[in-house]
Structure 1
Amino acid sequence: MSRWRIDIRRNQASVLWSEKEVNAKNWPIVKVTLPADLKGVKPGEVPAHLLRDIQPEGKLHWRAADAYHAMRAKALADNIKPFKPTSAGDTYRSLAQQTTVFLQRYQKQPIEGASTRTWEGVKWYKKSPTLASLAAPGTSMHNLGIAVDIWSASGPRFEWMLANALDFGFSWEVVPEEPWHLRYTAGDNVPPAVQAWLDSKKAV
């Protein structure tokens, strides 16, 4: 099976917690500053030289990749294991990948009460409430390589993310619906925690 397969269903019972718990959180949301080399890049068509492999799978823009690896190193050191993307397809997504999954989850035929997305001027309806929501192709931060969905973002792992993500230049975007979805917001202003990790790698 392709390493780019993206699960179209999520076991929300294992990922989310009670609405009361979620709403009690102080969700940090920071406006995105893009790295300079992404200016003018079409979402979903990020040049290969701007992408970097991340552990254990997937790709991100190189600035986001550095920040992710620094954050992951801290998480593992704090015994938050594993700390990884939900899948390779939940890191950078090409426009074709985003379109494929979008068409799996949404349809043009109206569904009463369904959540919707607008894509190319047309309203699309989510096929089932059990499916995770997805941005329209070309509008997702995944299409720029600056978003990563963290596996099993609940319990101690989520609490750790809440306490540490900002230090590494990450913040949330869609809350409380997507606690797993982090986007890199720091642009070319490397956060001190990330710079410290980079310096430690040079010293080895």
Structure 2
Amino acid sequence: MTTAAESEITPARLTVLAGPTAVGKGTVAAYIREHCPQVCLSVSATTRRPRPGEIDGVHYYFVDDAEFDRMIAQHELLEYATVHNSYRYGTPEAPVRRALAEGRPVLLEIDLQGARQVRRNAPDARLVFLSPPSWDELVRRLVGRGTETAEEQRRRLETAKVELDARSEFDDEVVNDSVARAANEVVHLMGIHPQKETR
């Protein structure tokens, strides 16, 4: 695995952004969505409840277990997993395939299990691991978010240890010590460069 600065950059049509809980994957992805409209940011389906401010169809597709089961049975998901021994997440395949067919770069913001599935199913995808500046900072972010019970926090931190141990499975690692800097590194790894102004 290399850092963004060390990596030789070739345009990646499909890029996976994964990392431990509370590392800021969603925040970095939202920054990319706002500042790089040419990137197609995949919207995942999940069985968890929306957090404050999350909008169905924008941040996630919020579905119940029956709908998630139907999506699996109909082979509508590129990848899916049960995360933190609790909720299920998956990437609807049709929008990803459509964007790739249009020649647009696609970013998947997913968990470790999903990243492994994408690696098997799309070996040309670039896998980027988003890591925290430190373990203590990761704990602070999770607790400070205030959206999980103490038991959920404990479970997520246990999962985070496993996820951090898997960082060597990724092509690149980006440390999220600044959202803008981390997002710019991810975009750079995708082979996207700001368009130069013409006169």
Same fold (TM > 0.5):
no
TM-score, with length taken from structure 1? 0.31
TM-score (norm 2): 0.31
